[in-house]
Amino acid sequence: MKIKLSLLATGLLYVPVVFAQKQPNVVIILADDMGYGDVGCNNPYARVRTPAIDQLARNGIRFTDAHSAGALSGPSRYGLVTGRYFFRTPKKSEYWGYLSPYIEPERLTIGSLMRNAGYTTACVGKWHLGLDWQLKDDSKPQILTPKKFGYTNTDFSAPVKRGPTELGFDYSFILPASLDMPPYAFVRNDRVVDPDVILTADAYPKKQDETVYAWDRKHTNENDIYWERGVWWRNGEMSRSFKFEECFPTIVDEGIAFIDREGRKDKPFFLYMPLTGPHTPWLPTVQFKGSTELGTYGDFMGDIDNVVARVNAKLKELGLEKNTIVIFASDNGGAWEEEDIQQYGHQSNWSRRGQKGDAWDGGHHVPLIVHWPDHIKYPGVCSQTVGLVDILATLADLTGQSLPKGQAEDSFSFKKVLDGDMNASTRDQIMYLSGSGKLAIKKGDWKYIDCLGSGGFTAPARLSPVKNGPKGQLYNMRTDSLESNNLFLREKGIANELSALLKKLLDQGYSRPQ
């Protein structure tokens, strides 16, 4: 039986869902900036080892054409948490933890969906969806020195509003944004754990003059902390007790503690655990430091894989492994430049062009694995196109809930795939947002991009059309997954059709039939 979620004028009314048998627990592990090719089972030439993730795939379903809703962190997370594309909001993606809330108070989230289904819900890890910080002095702006990342007008002793606990999560332990973006402070539920703040430059030494890599040079300035390739973070406010090298393991410990605590109860639990790695700074723990030939990045990947190992070990210890859905994915493509490929011989975004931020597939083609022993009787590989934005509708389907009109407007359920039909078509089109705000759409074999250039971090980001030349990009992804042959002029009819469809889906405000 499905329960229809109804709407009141003041917001959503969630009717408790009653089940005849215990529902599966659900754990979503979301890596940060981990490319499709960083997972061993996805890349036959990978120079990283991911035994725990590979084991998850062998006993579950591995998706080979999964995509994030955006090529950057915030837009991707908005899509996953709400089932709606970020470009439908008036917001712009920002690069720090002081940003205002992305998610509207009345919006259905993956947390409220699961809580409605009778789950105890938690968000543990990197949030990057905005918070409503209180100010010390309401007569002054929050950011006193824009882009210099010094002290701000933020009152870290006051409650933090419009965070996860106001969006359907019973418990939260979060870092406001990425581990290279201030403020660097843990927030438990609605309170900063340590409100006594200092500047990072007062606690960590700087070696900015030794910045030699292009990616790092583009993203750092003279006030930032820089140690080596990938090991840097912006200067700014941090809790006095905060330690960058302990952030990742602290988040993982909190997530495992939630599983241990709630797994001993009769009530099912839902854990959304967005990690801070392998996004910069690359800070592998002692256990994995020096363990690979891929430098600090490869070592850090050992920590990412170990999260899956630890989660599975805890589930086995509690006797919950078979009746727990574990979903592993990444928020966008890997931040892996051509110079990294040349130096290390590893392709983070293997089989695709570009990297994080790009409209090309390297920006949003991501690993996605679903493991559920009690239900997935025939593990395998699914080549159908799916999006992380589809996870919400899939969980609604699995928990017997119908999505209300005007909510999760871009989320399509792939439950049929989990039921064993690897060829089940879940959606006939999918849309992507690049780091610079350019849009792309894929339908069938064809992908259309509404600009020239990468639209993101890979040069050239933007190109101006020339006389009689293409105004956009069109690729046959079945025969040209590297997007090397622009067919915009040769297949103008297809390009025009996809351009019109992109505009239609953008204008009507939804892509899933309402």
pLDDT digits (tens, 9 = 90+) for 388-414: 999 999 999 999 999 999 999 999 999
Least confident interval from 84-98, 354-368, 391-405: 84-98
Is pLDDT of 146 > 90? Answer: no
92-104 average pLDDT score: 88
Least confident interval from 2-16, 284-298, 370-384, 447-461: 2-16
Orientation of helix 391-398 relative to helix 73-82, angle to 10°: 20
pLDDT band, very low/low/confident/very high, at 192 (cuts 50, 70, 90)? very high
Is pLDDT of 210 > 60? Answer: no
Handedness of CA 269, 39, 461, 227 (dihedral sign): positive
Is pLDDT of 17 > 90? Answer: no
pLDDT band, very low/low/confident/very high, at 431 (cuts 50, 70, 90)? very high
Is pLDDT of 18 > 50? Answer: no
Which two tokens mark 503?
């505009």
pLDDT band, very low/low/confident/very high, at 21 (cuts 50, 70, 90)? very low
Contacts of 504 (CB under 8 A, 6+ apart): none
Q: How far is CA 169 from the centre of its chain?
A: 17
pLDDT band, very low/low/confident/very high, at 41 (cuts 50, 70, 90)? very high
Contacts of 493 (CB under 8 A, 6+ apart): none
Least confident interval from 85-94, 120-129, 199-208: 199-208
**Does the domain formed by 430-508 have CATH 3.40.630.150?**
no
Tokens 């993203």 sit on residue: 219
Amino acid identity, residue 353?
A: R
CB atoms near residue 357 (< 10 Å): 25
Q: What CATH superfamily classification does 22-195+242-418 receive? A: Alkaline Phosphatase, subunit A (3.40.720.10)
* Buried/exposed 221-250: b ≥16 CB within 10 Å, e otherwise: eebbbbbbbbbbbbbbbbbeebebeebbbb
Is pLDDT of 113 > 60? Answer: yes
CB atoms near residue 7 (< 10 Å): 14
Which two tokens mark 84?
């709606």
pLDDT of 19 reads 41
Are 392 and 463 contacting, i.e. CB atoms less than 8 angstroms apart?
A: no
Please write the tens of the pLDDT for every residue from 432-472. Answer: 999 999 999 999 999 999 999 999 999 999 999 999 999 99
- Higher-confidence residue of 332 and 8: namely 332
Orientation of helix 295-317 relative to helix 51-58, angle to 10°: 50
Structural domain boundaries in the chain = 22-195+242-418, 430-508
236-251 average pLDDT score: 98
* Average pLDDT of the chain, as a whole number: 93
489-507 average pLDDT score: 98
Which two tokens mark 261?
């605590």
**SS3 of residue 393 by DSSP:** helix
